[in-house]
Amino acid sequence: MKLELRFFASLREALGVSQESATIPATVKTIADLRAHLIERGNPWSEVLANGKVLRCALNQHMVDASTALQDGAEVAFFPPVTGG
Amino acid sequence: MPIKIQENDFDLSAEIAALRKGEPRVGAVVSFLGTVRDMNDGSQVKGMTLEHYPGMTEKALEEILDQAKSRWDIHNTLVIHRVGSLMPEDQIVLVAVTSAHRGEAFAACEFIMDYLKTAAPFWKKEDTPEGARWVDARVTDEAAMARWK
C-alpha cells in the first residue's frame, strides 16, 4: 500500500521530515499499525512517535482515531494536539 | 460562511460590515477577537510563529461552522485565522456570527471558538527569552469543547 505521510509542528521539526511518500507492507492496516511500523525505523522515529506521546492523526485531512483503517493512496498526517486560536 | 487563512492583518470593522451588508434580517452580531499576549506559562513572549495544515484547516473549520449552523438559528459566520509571524498585541483570530437575536449568536460564537481550539490544525511556536518553544495544548481547552457534547 502506498501512503502520503505528513508531519507538522514539533513532530516535523524533530523528525526533520514534513512530507514523505511511503510504501508500507500489507500487515499495516490501521493508523495505530502505521505508527508502530514507523517506530521500527529507530531514532528519531521511535522517540518522536513513542506510545506514551500524545499525538493526533488525520486520514485524508480529517481527524481520526488510531483504530481507523488505512486506504491505498491516502494522505496520513501525524501532529501534536492543536494550539490555534 | 467565509473562512480565511492569511498572513495579513484584518480590519474588524470592515469584516463585520461586509458580513452583515444587505442583511436586514440580522439583529445581532457577536464577534470574538483573539490577540497575542506577551506572557504565557510564566515566560515573556517576544513573538510567535503560527503553522497550519493547508487543506485540512479549511475542511475542519467548514465542519465546525456547519455544526454551529445545524445547532443554532444563525444567519452568517466568518472565521479569519492568521498564520506566519506575529507579535504581542497582534490580532490572531476573528470569529463572527450574525443572527436575528443575540442568544443564538453568543452561543454559536463561543461554540465555534471552543471547537477551533481543539479541532482546527494550527500550532503556535513562541519566541521567549529562554528560546523558541512549541506551545502545549491546554486541558482546559478540551474541557471547554466537551461541555457542548
* Residue from B67, B135, B138, B141 whose CB has the most chain A CBs within 10 Å, to mutate: B135
Residue B78 backbone dihedrals phi, psi, to 5 degrees: -145, 135
**Inter-chain Cβ pairs, chain A and chain B, closer than 8 A:** 70
Structure confidence by residue, pLDDT tens digits, B102-136: 999 999 999 999 999 999 999 999 999 999 999 99
The alpha-carbon gap from B24 to the nearest alpha carbon of chain A, in Å, equals 30
For B53, counting Cβ atoms within 10 Å of its Cβ (0-12 exposed, 13-18 middle, 19+ buried), the class is buried
Rounded to an integer, the average pLDDT of A57-68 is 97
Dist CA A62 CA A82 (whole Å): 14
Which three three-digit cell numbers place residue A85? Answer: 486560536
d(CA A18, CA A38): 14
Q: Regarding beta strands A56-59 and A62-64, do their DSSP bridges make them parallel or antiparallel, or are they unpaired?
A: antiparallel
Q: Mark yes or no for CB contact B117/A85 under 8 Å.
A: yes
Pair type for strands A2-7 and A75-79: parallel
Q: Is the pLDDT of residue B142 over 90?
A: no
C-beta separation of B65 from B112 below 8 A: yes
Contact check, Cβ <8 Å, B59/A61: yes
Residue B139 has pLDDT above 90, yes or no: no
Q: Cell triple for residue A35?
A: 505508527
3-class DSSP state for residue B93? Answer: strand
Going by pLDDT thresholds of 50, 70 and 90, the confidence category of residue B1 is: confident
Is residue B138 predicted with pLDDT exceeding 90?
A: no
pLDDT in tens, B31-73: 999 999 999 988 999 999 999 999 999 999 999 999 999 999 9
B33 → chain A, closest CA residue: A85
CA pseudo-torsion sign A65, B115, B144, A52: positive
The residue to which cell 474588524 is assigned: B12
Q: From chain A, pick out residues whose CB is under 8 angstroms from the CB of B94.
A: none
Question: How is residue A5 written as a grid cell?
Answer: 505521510
* Sign of the Cα pseudo-torsion (A44, A47, A48, A50, in order): positive
Query: Where does B3-120 show beta strands of DSSP type E?
Result: 3-6, 28-35, 39-40, 43-44, 47-52, 74-82, 84-86, 91-99
Predicted confidence at residue B65, as pLDDT, reads: 98
| pLDDT reported for residue B149 | 86
Residues of B in contact with A77 (CB under 8 A): 53, 56, 121
Whether A82 has its CB under 8 Å from any CB of chain B: the answer is yes
Tell me, yes or no, if B82 comes closer than 8 A to chain A by beta carbon.
Answer: no
Q: How far is CA B66 from the centre of its chain?
A: 15
Q: What is the pLDDT of residues A8-52, one digit of tens each?
A: 999 999 999 999 999 999 999 999 999 999 999 999 999 999 998
C-alpha closest to that of B94 among B28, B1, B31, B47: B31
Mean pLDDT computed over B11-22:
97
Identify whether the C-beta of residue B95 lies closer than 8 Å to the C-beta of residue B32: yes
- Chain B: residue nearest A18 by CA? B53
